[in-house]
Amino acid sequence: MRRKIIIDTDPGQDDAIAILLALAAKDKLELLGITAVAGNVPLELTTKNALKILEVAKETNIAVFSGCKAPLKRKLVTAEHVHGPTGLNGPQLAEPKIKQQDQHGVDFIIDTLRQHPEKTITLCPLGPLTNIASAIIKAPDIVEKIDEIVLMGGAYFEVGNVTPAAEFNFYVDPEAANIVMCSGIKITMMPLDVTHQVLTTKERSQKFANLGNETGKIIYHWVKYFKKFDEEKYKSDGAPLHDPCVIAYLLKPDLFSGRKINVRIETNSELTRGMSVADYWGITDEKDCPRNVNFMRHVDDEGFYQLLFDYLKKLP
């Protein structure tokens, strides 16, 4: 039985590789649809990028929906300085021929959860949590229907990447992140603590180029563009492949390890806006601070990349 998933995303080169991984693993994952959210770049571009990614994989029957164009309460903050003005800078990709669906992404999430038996769908947010939180606000009954949320976001020991305190996805829409964290839904979180361990080193980048397919060459050029920001900031060899950690977890969870802890999101302070306050050492009282998140802290990075190469070489 394939695992049914919805990917909520703000492509972004790392989102793109996560989506391609999910498409390559269609023997294990049934991608019910892709909902775009404003994040790395504005909504119009994240939606178009999702369509482009499907055309790279020649999977043009997957439905793409446009979701929220701004955070719940805040002005949108984007990341063109990391991903480029299109959000998918690197290779030249043609304008997509396929079209997005008319339905709003939030309504697609709600309707799909209501139409399936409960606890049969996993939500995979790869960007700000605006769509997910909006769906919970609009239709609280879906909380009981969601099997699990496996998301990329937050940080603790690794601290922030957009401010000294906060990771980008949670920073853009801290109110949405807080709603999801407090929802009671089973959550597995891929924070920077894990994603910063899976760097696109020169050797690994070359392996993408040598996959033997057009997809590998496109990924190579995405990585070549996307890694500049992190290499300059952290003086690292390569950049973290954040979002593919979510899909890799679905395919091979034992690549990752962490613990069930309490995570709360800062929504009041401007200094620490969006900070994920993770009680990793269990010092809060479980009665007041429930262990609401499966917080991943370690990953087998070689095993992660071998999984990526093994699956992505199956694509066109």
Report the C-alpha gap between 229 and 214 in whole angstroms. 25
Contact residues: Ca ion, CB under 5 A? 10, 12, 15, 126-127, 243
Please name the residues in contact with 160: beta carbons below 8 A apart, sequence gap of 6 or more.
166, 167, 171, 192, 274, 275
Applying CB under 6 A, does 190 fall inside the site for ligand RIB?
Answer: no
Applying CB under 6 A, does 152 fall inside the site for ligand RIB?
Answer: yes
Applying CB under 6 A, does 167 fall inside the site for ligand RIB?
Answer: yes
Query: Among residue numbers 90 through 129, which ones bind ligand RIB (CB under 6 A)?
Result: 126-127
Residue 262 or 299: the one with the smaller Cβ distance to Ca ion is 299
Among the residue ranges 63-71, 95-103, 160-168, 212-220, the one whose residues contact ligand RIB (CB under 6 A): 160-168
> One of 81, 221, 242, 298 is an active-site residue; which one?
242
- Report the partner that residue 174 touches, choosing among Ca ion, ligand RIB, none (CB closer than 5 to 8 A by kind): none
Return the SS3 of 50: helix
Quick one: 98 exposed, middle or buried, by C-beta within 10 A (0-12, 13-18, 19+)?
middle
Report the C-alpha gap between 143 and 43 in whole angstroms. 25
Q: Please compute Rg for the chain using Cα positions.
A: 18
Report the C-alpha gap between 5 and 113 in whole angstroms. 10
**36 to each of 150, 260, 298, how far by Cα in Å?**
16, 29, 28
Q: Assign residue 171 a region (left: φ > 0; alpha: ψ between -120 and 50; beta: otherwise).
A: alpha
Among the residue ranges 11-19, 45-53, 62-70, 262-270, the one whose residues contact ligand RIB (CB under 6 A): 11-19
- Report the partner that residue 193 touches, choosing among Ca ion, ligand RIB, none (CB closer than 5 to 8 A by kind): none
Residue 152 or 176: the one with the smaller Cβ distance to ligand RIB is 152
* 242 noted as active-site residue: yes
- Report the partner that residue 161 touches, choosing among ligand RIB, Ca ion, none (CB closer than 5 to 8 A by kind): ligand RIB
Applying CB under 6 A, does 147 fall inside the site for ligand RIB?
Answer: no
Which residues of this chain interact with ligand RIB, rule CB under 6 A? Answer: 10, 12, 14-15, 39-40, 126-127, 152, 161, 167-169, 242-243
